[in-house]
Amino acid sequence: MLSPERHATRLQSEVWPELPQSAWGETCVTLQLWTQIVGKIRLALTPPLNHTWNVTLFPTVRGLTTSPMWQGTRTLQIDFDFIDHILVLQTSEGDRRVIALKPMTVATFYREVMASLEALGTPVPIWPMPVEMAQPIPFDQDITHQAYDPEYVERFWRILLQTTRVFNIFRARFIGKASPIHLFWGALDLACTRFSGRTAPEHSSMPGLPDRVTRDAYSHEVSSCGFWPGAPGMEPLFYSYAYPQPPGYAESSVQPAAARFDPNLGEFILPYEDMRQSESPDEVLLQFLQSTYEAAATTAQWDRQGLEAAYSSPAAPDSPTV
């Protein structure tokens, strides 16, 4: 039998698993490109929504989903299943196509997705060019990226689920306008954004994004947080930033001790591994989210009394409930 200490360590490892870039970096890039293909289908089939919220994907109990999309009156949904490692394309008429998720080139994945849409009678043309990536290769020509490690994909998805759980607690503390908790496939980050209610100055251009998208995303004053799985040379992290960045924001004192302002990124960061290794990962993450939001709201003089809800620490999972 495991000792209480070893059992706690094992449970923590299962809830917040390791995700070193050195182990799954190539898979991470391939998965990002695959989600961009599916995300662009959602972009093509949904009416524009403020801050591009119509294009995002959402974590599910098995992976990621587009949620229902309409082509005329026909309904289509596409799901990444990271338990059985399949992509499921299905319609409300009961038609279904399945693509096995395994090592394959982005070009092959693209062709299989497009062929499945044709077979379902729901063809969707998309612009086959990746976004928010250096030296992008058109999807239909990309025979470079083809790694797929199911273990690490599942770890990434489980982190998204746990992050969504904690973000939901944090989101409930705010009664002003706030985004859904959703995955932006451009950078493969899970995000949640709060708004002060005031408009913001026009945002300058961002690499890899049309100006109209950037300026719509930052049309209003925000405090935004998220989880990013990293990239070559950068490990996974939680982030928090304010736009526009108010004077004194970067110098604000935030929690936990492992958090810091990164001048290159222009945001506060908390390394995922530091959070994961802490005695209470949930509480450490909530400290980061709350303190960085307060830094933005205080230095930018938000109407905190009118925007915030009273809150208390959530009960432990095994605590009795009403």
Contact 228, 187 (CB under 8 A): yes
Q: What is the mean pLDDT of residues 5-29?
A: 80
Taking the C-alpha atoms of residue 245 and residue 266, their distance in angstroms, rounded to an integer, is 9
Q: Could you tell me if 166 and 219 lie in one domain?
A: yes
Q: pLDDT higher for 34 or 210? A: 34
Q: Could you tell me if 282 and 134 lie in one domain?
A: no
Q: What is the pLDDT of residue 8?
A: 47
% of residues, the chain, pLDDT over 70: 93
List Cβ neighbours of 313 (8 Å cut-off, separation of 6 or more): 283
Token output for 181: 């908790």
pLDDT of 276 strictly over 80: yes
Q: What is the mean pLDDT of residues 298-313?
A: 90
Helix then strand then coil, in percent of the chain rounded to 5, is 35, 20, 40
Residue 185 CA to its chain's centroid (Å): 7
- Provide the residue type at 75 as one letter: T
Structural domains of the chain, count: 2
Tell me the pLDDT tens digit for each residue of 119-137: 999 999 999 999 999 899 9
- The verdict on residue 174 lying in a domain is yes
Q: Could you tell me if 66 and 162 lie in one domain?
A: no
pLDDT of 294 strictly over 90: yes
User: In the listed set 104, 119, 141, which residue is the last one of a domain according to the structure?
Assistant: 141
Could you list the beta-strand ranges (E) of 173-234: 182-184, 189-199, 220-228
Q: What is the mean pLDDT of residues 157-172?
A: 98
Q: Could you tell me if 30 and 105 lie in one domain?
A: yes
- The verdict on residue 285 lying in a domain is yes
pLDDT of 64 strictly over 90: yes
pLDDT of 319 strictly over 50: no
Token output for 96: 């279904």
The DSSP element (H or E) to which 305 belongs, if any, is helix 304-307
Q: What is the pLDDT of residue 2?
A: 45
Question: What is the average pLDDT value for the chain, to the nearest integer?
Answer: 92
Tell me the pLDDT tens digit for each residue of 38-56: 999 999 999 988 889 999 9
Q: Could you tell me if 116 and 227 lie in one domain?
A: no
HSE value, Cβ hemisphere, 13 Å, CA-based, for 163: 30
Tell me the pLDDT tens digit for each residue of 185-238: 999 999 999 999 999 888 887 777 777 778 777 789 999 999 999 998 999 999
Q: Which domain holds residue 156?
A: 150-306
Q: Could you tell me if 163 and 131 lie in one domain?
A: no
